[in-house]
Amino acid sequence: MNEYLCHDFKSPRIDTSRRLPSSFRAIPVIFYVALIGCAYVMTMDYFNYKKALKQKVDAQERQTLSETQRDSFKNEKSDLESEATKAEQVAQWMEGARNIQPIAVKIARAVQTDTRITQVALERSEQVPANIALTIHLNGSKVSMELAAIEAALGQLLYRSASPQQTKNGDVVEYHSTLVRQAD
């Protein structure tokens, strides 16, 4: 071994570069802290991202489902409205299409044999078809009683005589009234 070289190794070395300022010594520490911090934040962000993504997809699915069901209910309601409209119109028509034959039969059966009915006319009102204009021509000795009996008989069919009028024309009594159907 060369003696000079051994001496050279053992001799103190002179720094070729200047030492860092003491504040710069914190940089490696800051690096490791930043590395750990960023790793933590990114990991948490990753999980939060996955969670948010799942929440978003779930919410969108719920929204789609709810909107489908809402549309279905609206369509059902629309159909019900249509059906109800038709039903109202049919009911309105039928209200003015009640049978007239029972009225004629009741009138015929209410009078006694000694009273003669010469004419019975039943005419529906154009404005209120449920109302029926009744005209009876009859002659006999007990016309008032017979008319009371007719009104009572019609009452059994839930018809009430509105504005009844009687006019006497010779032997014939003309009776006019409007039959108004009472609520069941």
Site for another protein in 107-166 (CB under 8 A): 108, 118-124, 129, 157-158
Segment interacting with another protein (CB under 8 A) among 3-11, 15-23, 141-149, 169-177: 15-23
The residue among 69 and 112 lying less far from another protein, judged by its C-beta, is 69
- Does residue number 88 form part of the binding site for another protein (CB under 8 A)? yes
Give, in order, the Cα–Cα distances in Å from 23 to each of 20, 27, 30, 89: 8, 8, 11, 93
| Neighbouring-strand partners of residue 132 | 124, 179
- Does residue number 97 form part of the binding site for another protein (CB under 8 A)? yes
- Within 10 A of 177 (CB to CB), how many other CB atoms are there? 22
Q: Go through 63-77 and write b for each residue having 16 or more CB atoms within 10 A of its CB, e for each that does not.
A: eeeeeeeeeeeeeee
- Does residue number 18 form part of the binding site for another protein (CB under 8 A)? yes
Interface with another protein in residues 28-67 (CB under 8 A):
28, 30-31, 34-35, 37-38, 41-42, 45, 48-49, 52-53, 55-56, 59-60, 62-63, 66-67
Please give the Cα distance from 43 to 63 (Å, whole number).
30
